[in-house]
Amino acid sequence: MKALEEKILQEGVVVDGDILKVDGFVNHQVDVPLMEEIGKDMAEHFKEQGITKVFTIESSGIAPALFTAKELGVPLVILKKQQTADSLKTEVWQTEVVSYTKDTSYRLTLAKNYISDEDHVLIIDDFLANGEAATGAIRLIRKAHATVAGLGVLIEKAFQPGHEKLESQGIHVYAQASIQAFEDGKVVF
């Protein structure tokens, strides 16, 4: 998606050689018109998939996922990090996820009352690197015996194994911006 690539080149910051900070327009300060355009593009790409819900992981995927869900006319479900069943006062599914960027793990939580075995779920996330977050979301969806329509990501690091790993599991992956490399602190698409 050209508008996203241009924004990354203008405002993205490469940190420590292989981490791209986009907090100025994706997750700390949000460029609302860009997120709306992203949501329309995601919805257009997945419109024939019979999607019943859009899922995202808190918090960076919320803005694009919200606009995608709005365009598709379906609910948005936000998977929570580090919550226990006791704190939610409801039955949940949980799985452990390792964060590449933060080099930590967290518990991903889905309340059982927000998914059924009839749901066909589109996952929206900000980044795809090793595919750990998406794999965690997929595990939760499958625990509920629902199906995965696909994964839409704003930015993928094509030089990392996430895309290939997920597609080898039969997951359709759509990336709006595909980074081939970081060279001398710059993004190469």
Question: Does pLDDT of 75 surpass 70?
Answer: yes
Is the pTM value of this prediction over 0.85? Answer: yes
Question: Does pLDDT of 86 surpass 90?
Answer: no
What are the residues whose beta carbons fall under 8 Å from the beta carbon of 16, sequence distance 6 or more?
A: none
Q: Is 27 marked as binding a ligand?
A: yes
CA-to-CA separations, 85 to 15, 107, 112, 142, in angstroms, rounded: 36, 11, 10, 19
pLDDT tier for residue 87 given thresholds of 50, 70 and 90: low
Q: Is 20 marked as binding a ligand?
A: yes
Q: Mapping DSSP to helix (H, G, I), strand (E, B) and coil, where does residue 69 land? A: helix
pLDDT tens-digit map of 44-55: 999 999 999 999
Q: Is 17 marked as binding a ligand?
A: no
Q: What are phi and psi of 168, to 5 degrees?
A: -70, -20
CATH architecture of 2-78+114-188: 3-Layer(aba) Sandwich (3.40)
Please tell me the distance from the alpha carbon of residue 33 to that of residue 10, in angstroms, as a whole number.
Answer: 16
Q: Is 133 marked as binding a ligand?
A: yes
